[in-house]
Structure 1
Amino acid sequence: MKFSTRVAVTLCVVLTASTQLSAAPSPLIRQENARPGSDDWQLTRVRLDKSDGMRSPAIEGYCSKQSVQAGESLDIFVSTDPPSKYKVEFFRTGYYGGKGARLIQETGPLQGIAQPVPRPGEKNLHECQWKASTQLTIPADWLSGVYLGRLTTLPESADDPYWQSYVIFIVRDDRPADILFQCSDNTWQAYNRWPTNYSVYTHPKGGQGPWADVSFDRPYGRQSQYNAIVNDPLSVGSGEFLSFEQPMSYFLEQHGYDVTYCSNSDMLTPDRGLKCKSFLSVGHDEYWDIRQFNSVSKMRDEGVNLMFFSGNSVCWVTPFRASSDGRPNRIIFRGGPYGAKLDYAEEREKEHGPFPERGPDEGLLMGARNPEPINGGGDWTITNPGHWVFEGTGVKKGDRIPGLVGWEYHARPAQEIPGLEVVAEGRAWVGGVTRSAWAATVYPGPKNNFVFNAATIFWCQDLSMPPGHTLPWSHWSRPHGPDARVQKITHNLLQKAGALPASKD
């Protein structure tokens, strides 16, 4: 990694240009969230195929693309077993006066059919080839965001029960914005076991090798991998968004930040990110195509601020390939570890390989790395309270934010980066008994920008508590929900990067 020799000066000098804030943020998010929200957007009735099941065969579906722009069309594939009529309500998630989502369109009644469960293909691939149930052309006035389509069966009699699940997609745009929020949908799919036990973790050869392919052409089932972390069947079909990313989106839109959204697959070139002041990795962002790594590295080198409000990020090289009908970026697998220079990557290769891919040292991008062991739970402990990230928080050295670390995190700071500082560090507890180190870092980029690494999947849990959100827990530890210190640190970071809130709600 190349830096100007001027980088290794104090952050208060290096970051001067980032403090030159825009006169006013774009009003788009503020205007959108002034519209009336919906009281009824969550799932109320979900019927899984069994008590510990992954799917809801009464009604389930998926979309033909991870993300779509205004003017483009999206096919939605739905199965109802037994066949029944149903409707689809489309909601944009956000703040909306605290309600969390807004109804923007409804389709139906439609006649559902029972669509086939695919037979396992090579490398246990389950790729549905269902008939399209409806097609949605994205209107020009649909603002970039994370959208849920709520599928609801329409029983013939009012005395009969209805059943529900979600489909999820991202509306993206190309406009310049203060903040680019990358959804971690590769990781959603890697952990998706639909229809029964078919994720990248469930191949008969073992859970950590390159042996399993997974397809985006299937519904998101309940993330049963997370029964010990989040067990919420009323989020079926939404991937990990409601569990691990919605609190950040809700927080940003509550305060009117100028934010736009994209999927992992939109970051295969740096073009989208270079139009934004900041790039956010959110929640559980484990699986990156090597082109994402190169794109985000380019963005940093060109002056974009990077903020990893995430843990276990940039851990596995995850090559995309097209679906069987030629749609790009619809199949992924665990190609190999990032961290080519690290001993633990060599050990992974010996234990789980051989892997066909090998990525560079993720620490030289994020500022800290994926450790072994990588999961546990603990408090986020401040070690550098005089750093600008803590301005206005009142924290002292040794203060702890309870339960904020987990269930996976970053450690081993990349001290070879000029100007890198550790702002918080400590120990997580694996199983409540085995200690594991973690560390949060900040370092200056080459063009008056910075890179922040919060070092925990759970960071967003202390920003907000949207309607319907369920707090996770891990290794006998859990975050407590909204914390004024975490909120203030996040504001400090965003505003240092040139993003101004439009609201002080």
Structure 2
Amino acid sequence: MGSEQIRRWESGALAHAVTDPFGQGPVPWLRGDETYFDGTGQVVPWYVDGSPQPAPAGARTDGARIPAPRTAGGPRAADDVRRQIKGFTSAGAVAPGEAIDFHITVDPPQEFGVDVYRIGHYGGDGAAKITTSPRLSGIVQPPPLTADRTVSCHHWWLSWRLQIPSFWSVGAYVAVLTTADGYRSHVPFTVRHDHPADLLLLLPDVTWQAYNLYPEDGRTGASLYHAWDEEGGLLGESDAATTVSFDRPYAGAGLPLHVGHAYDFIRFAERYGYDLAYADARDLHSGRVDPTRYRGLVFPGHDEYWSANMRRTVERARDHGTSLVFLSANTMYWQVELGPSPSGAPDRLLTCRKRRGPGRPVLWREVDRPEQQVVGIQYAGRVPDPHPLIVRNADHWLWEATGAHEGDEIQGLVAGEADRYFPRTPLPEHDDRILLAHSPYADTEGALRHQETSLYRAPSGALVFASGTFAWSPSLDRPGHVDPRVQRATANLLDHICKRD
């Protein structure tokens, strides 16, 4: 591969990876805007979904203006072409007292270290360093294996085993991998336990993996959205993978697309003292967690891909009296299956047939189980530019003490993607139901559409809230996006669920 071709991906952020957040400073990396690059090489704002329509025939990325890795003030971001340092874990979530295995490739071979951060408020820092590994010997791992667009690194050797001390707090963690010559990438993981808590936070790792284009090298990487043609151009969904593996790093900087939406909520919730437990979507799928033990389940970020087990478990929790909080949009859209890796490890392969191959349709609404029957609203479309959220039913307790009045506009809060109520689609059983926003916007074709925010009370007494927009979580604790009205409305909701006075 020529140097000019490599240059197109050397930033590690061409398609769906976030830019290196650590490039913005030693810890506040998770507080900055996320950007990534579409098939034309253009920078796309944080609020845009990573599932654009397939690029027009013949569209090229040649000559795209891709910024070089940041070098000022610290390490440089590793990329998927040279693979200076990249890694993944053998499990997404682990409990105190258990071990988590890291599989890491380092090129050229040299020593490296791992700093482990926990995401939280921490006086506004956004994260705190919890531990540092000893100096480790890095090796060049074998190239990823590929089969029918599925990319897997399950054959990589074990690089480091982290024993999680019993005193570690549950939470979302990021391992920061740094080589001796100053290249860096990231590996997210979750620490969970079975202790009671008011709220269970579900990290959307299934959706994260669906968008993962690793390796972002112009040759072999593939996600459920894209793959590469022989000349290094991005192909669309019809040529993308139908199965992707968790046994591989995340593309680019090593953090999933839209991971910051979950971190925005975590910082907000910890700042105001909410009692959180943590799990990931695969825990929900496997039955590893019992959601009926919590007052509420919080889905903080883009959570588009759901297995039948995930949906069944959440419906059972709602019908038991556990409230549901959906803080993004386009939730529960695609139906997926999870299967074992070649070595037999459970839930390491994610399959979503989409538009290829035999089998039934995989949109939930196409199998007569529309997501509105759980969420209360459902996906309506993309929002090309941010629009204001228009407050509706301002006398409802959700808007209490927010200062919001009927018809008020909350600027920029309808962004990325939007949900709304579909009148011809059945609603879930409910004792009462209300729409708390009704916000017009123009779609990608310029047609007038609208977004809605929904709340209903199930017969069990469970509350089910859906924001109907990508921009709700960033408005809780992301500089440049914070809105006190949304913060207070979210606190009102969580206080009702947690039975706080």
Question: TM-score normalised to the size of structure 2?
Answer: 0.77
Output the CA distance in 2 between the equivalents of 1:493 and 1:388.
8
* Among candidates 231, 250, 256, match of residue 220 of structure 1: 250
Q: 1:55 offset after TM fit, Å?
A: 6.1
Tell me if the contact between 2:381 and 2:419 (Cα under 8 Å) persists in the aligned partners: no
How do 1:275-290 and structure 2 match up within 5 A? 275-290=293-308
Output the CA distance in 2 between the equivalents of 1:116 and 1:372.
41
* Among candidates 369, 385, 389, match of residue 394 of structure 2: 385
Output the CA distance in 2 between the equivalents of 1:330 and 1:409.
30
Output the CA distance in 2 between the equivalents of 1:485 and 1:185.
29
Aligned counterpart, 1:199: 223
Tell me if the contact between 1:406 and 1:456 (Cα under 8 Å) persists in the aligned partners: yes
Tell me if the contact between 1:212 and 1:333 (Cα under 8 Å) persists in the aligned partners: yes
Output the CA distance in 1 between the equivalents of 2:102 and 2:289.
28
How do 1:303-314 and structure 2 match up within 5 A? 303-314=321-332
Tell me if the contact between 2:187 and 2:249 (Cα under 8 Å) persists in the aligned partners: yes
Output the CA distance in 2 between the equivalents of 1:499 and 1:128.
45
Aligned counterpart, 1:399: 408
Tell me if the contact between 1:181 and 1:261 (Cα under 8 Å) persists in the aligned partners: yes
Q: Compared with structure 1, are the counterparts of its residues 178 and 483 closer, same or farther at alpha carbon in structure 2 (3 Å cutoff)?
A: same
Unmatched 5+ stretches in structure 2:
1-24, 30-73, 230-234
How do 1:306-455 and structure 2 match up within 5 A? 306-335=324-353, 355=360, 357=362, 359=364, 360-372=369-381, 377-413=386-422, 416-417=427-428, 418=430, 419-431=432-444, 433-455=446-468
Q: Which has the higher contact order (CA 8 A, sep 6+)?
A: 1
Aligned counterpart, 1:482: 482
Paired-residue identity, %: 30
- How many residues get paired? 414
Tell me if the contact between 1:41 and 1:150 (Cα under 8 Å) persists in the aligned partners: no
1:254 to 2:280 alignment:
no
Aligned counterpart, 1:185: 205
Moved more, 113-122 or 145-154: 113-122
Aligned counterpart, 1:4: none
Tell me if the contact between 2:145 and 2:152 (Cα under 8 Å) persists in the aligned partners: yes
* Among candidates 298, 302, 310, match of residue 292 of structure 1: 310
Letter in 2 for 1:310: S
Q: 1:456 offset after TM fit, Å?
A: 1.1
Residues 148-200 of structure 1, C-alpha deviation per residue, up to 9 Å, x if partnerless? 11111124xxxxxx111111100111111111111111111111111024111
1:495 to 2:495 alignment:
yes
Residues 466-497 of structure 1, C-alpha deviation per residue, up to 9 Å, x if partnerless? 7xxxxxxxxxxxxx411110000000000010
Paired residue secondary structure (1:88):
strand
1:70 to 2:87 alignment:
no
Q: 1:119 offset after TM fit, Å?
A: 3.2
Tell me if the contact between 1:283 and 1:458 (Cα under 8 Å) persists in the aligned partners: no
Tell me if the contact between 2:226 and 2:239 (Cα under 8 Å) persists in the aligned partners: no
Tell me if the contact between 1:376 and 1:406 (Cα under 8 Å) persists in the aligned partners: yes
Output the CA distance in 2 between the equivalents of 1:115 and 1:308.
39
Aligned counterpart, 1:165: 185
Tell me if the contact between 1:177 and 1:260 (Cα under 8 Å) persists in the aligned partners: yes
Output the CA distance in 2 between the equivalents of 1:241 and 1:66.
17
Output the CA distance in 2 between the equivalents of 1:58 and 1:436.
45
Output the CA distance in 2 between the equivalents of 1:216 and 1:153.
23
Residues 97-147 of structure 1, C-alpha deviation per residue, up to 9 Å, x if partnerless? 111212221112111011122132134333442101011121111111001
Q: 1:357 offset after TM fit, Å?
A: 4.5
Output the CA distance in 1 between the equivalents of 2:237 and 2:224.
7
Output the CA distance in 1 between the equivalents of 2:145 and 2:387.
42
Tell me if the contact between 1:281 and 1:308 (Cα under 8 Å) persists in the aligned partners: yes
Residues 23-82 of structure 1, C-alpha deviation per residue, up to 9 Å, x if partnerless? xxxxxxxxxxxxxxxx83467433344xxxx56611111100011111221110111111
Q: Compared with structure 1, are the counterparts of its residues 148 and 373 closer, same or farther at alpha carbon in structure 2 (3 Å cutoff)?
A: closer
Aligned counterpart, 2:126: 100
Paired residue secondary structure (1:300):
helix
Q: 1:93 offset after TM fit, Å?
A: 1.1
Q: 1:94 offset after TM fit, Å?
A: 0.6
Tell me if the contact between 1:270 and 1:296 (Cα under 8 Å) persists in the aligned partners: no
1:57 to 2:83 alignment:
yes
Letter in 2 for 1:384: N
Tell me if the contact between 2:84 and 2:106 (Cα under 8 Å) persists in the aligned partners: yes
Output the CA distance in 2 between the equivalents of 1:373 and 1:456.
10
Alignment root-mean-square deviation, CA: 2.5
Paired residue secondary structure (2:134):
strand
Tell me if the contact between 2:208 and 2:257 (Cα under 8 Å) persists in the aligned partners: yes
Tell me if the contact between 2:150 and 2:245 (Cα under 8 Å) persists in the aligned partners: no
Question: TM-score normalised to the size of structure 1?
Answer: 0.77
Output the CA distance in 1 between the equivalents of 2:178 and 2:500.
39
Paired residue secondary structure (2:264):
helix
Tell me if the contact between 1:209 and 1:355 (Cα under 8 Å) persists in the aligned partners: no
Tell me if the contact between 2:78 and 2:183 (Cα under 8 Å) persists in the aligned partners: no
Aligned counterpart, 1:40: 26
Q: Compared with structure 1, are the counterparts of its residues 499 and 245 closer, same or farther at alpha carbon in structure 2 (3 Å cutoff)?
A: farther
Tell me if the contact between 1:257 and 1:499 (Cα under 8 Å) persists in the aligned partners: no
Tell me if the contact between 1:83 and 1:114 (Cα under 8 Å) persists in the aligned partners: yes
Tell me if the contact between 2:372 and 2:427 (Cα under 8 Å) persists in the aligned partners: no
Q: Compared with structure 1, are the counterparts of its residues 403 and 353 closer, same or farther at alpha carbon in structure 2 (3 Å cutoff)?
A: farther
Paired residue secondary structure (2:413):
strand
Q: 1:380 offset after TM fit, Å?
A: 1.2
Output the CA distance in 2 between the equivalents of 1:375 and 1:259.
34
Moved more, 426-435 or 129-138: 426-435
Residues 365-387 of structure 1, C-alpha deviation per residue, up to 9 Å, x if partnerless? 00001224576632211121111
Output the CA distance in 2 between the equivalents of 1:200 and 1:57.
22
Q: 1:304 offset after TM fit, Å?
A: 0.4
Output the CA distance in 2 between the equivalents of 1:67 and 1:428.
39
Letter in 2 for 1:251: F
Output the CA distance in 1 between the equivalents of 2:122 and 2:86.
27
